[in-house]
């Protein structure tokens, strides 16, 4: 088992895969945080705007 762990730690491809996995996971968490920060506070504004638009008579 120790040989397997040492072989994996010495292998460059395995290290690169771990690096990319951590990098992608961090990017996904950052994008999620930004989306939640932008979308959540604007929900009441968009709801109010939708109500105003729905109350307007249709031109016809």
Using one digit for the tens of pLDDT, what is the confidence trace for 35-58?
888 876 666 777 777 788 788 787
Dihedral (CA of 46, 52, 57, 60) sign:
negative
Are 14 and 8 in contact by the 8 Å Cβ rule? The answer is yes
Spatial separation of the C-alpha atoms in residues 36 and 46, rounded to whole Å: 15
Q: What band does 60 get if pLDDT is binned at 50, 70 and 90? A: low
- This model's pTM is above 0.75: no
Spatial separation of the C-alpha atoms in residues 4 and 34, rounded to whole Å: 40
Spatial separation of the C-alpha atoms in residues 9 and 51, rounded to whole Å: 59
């Amino acid at each position: 088992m120790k040989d397997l762990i040492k072989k994996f730690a010495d292998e460059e491809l395995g290290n690169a895969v771990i690096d990319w996995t951590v990098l992608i996971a961090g990017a996904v968490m950052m994008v999620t945080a930004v989306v939640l920060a932008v979308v959540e506070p604007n929900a009441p504004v968009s709801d109010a705007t939708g109500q105003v638009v729905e109350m307007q008579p249709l031109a016809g």
